[in-house]
Homo-oligomer: A and B are copies of this chain.
């Protein structure tokens, strides 16, 4: 199925929440309760976003997260890559040279599919957390 995973969904919801409440540090617990996201799972997701620099963490009591970049500079594509390592439609496009599936390099749909993917990624790359937070 062509769909976004729960992790991506939670990641977008969380980043939006943090962006909207940028006047304070927000904890995973707060996001979890306000957004209705399983706490443990959300924590993992936030830790991943932190490792990729999309958010910054503060340890200890009164701790939590704030944005690590300007909301206008974080795209949906950034979030997908941060949480899943890659953003590609077919296995063909995962490796750097684009040739890892068994049909390559004689795959008859490789080129048109690569164009398709490029267009879709452009869409993901043109949507930012800033837009999502204000719309």
Residue positions of A touching B, CB distance < 8 A: 1-5, 8-9, 12-13, 16-17, 35-36, 76, 80, 84, 87-90, 102-103, 108-109, 111-113, 115-116, 119-120, 123-124, 127, 131-132, 135
26 A-B pairs (CB sep. < 8 Å): A1-B84, A2-B3, A2-B5, A2-B8, A3-B88, A3-B90, A4-B89, A4-B90, A9-B109, A13-B109, A16-B108, A16-B109, A17-B108, A35-B108, A109-B132, A112-B127, A112-B132, A112-B135, A113-B132, A116-B123, A116-B124, A119-B123, A120-B120, A120-B123, A120-B124, A123-B123
A36-B103, A116-B76, A120-B123 given; A89·B2 CB < 8 A = yes
The answer to whether A4 touches B2 (Cβ under 8 A) is: yes
CA–CA, A3 to B13, complex, Å? 21
Tell me which residues across on chain B come within 8 A of A102, comparing CB atoms: 36
Copy number in the complex reads 2
Inter-subunit contact A2/B80 (CB<8 Å): yes
Q: Complex formed: what's the CA distance from A127 to B114 in Å?
A: 12
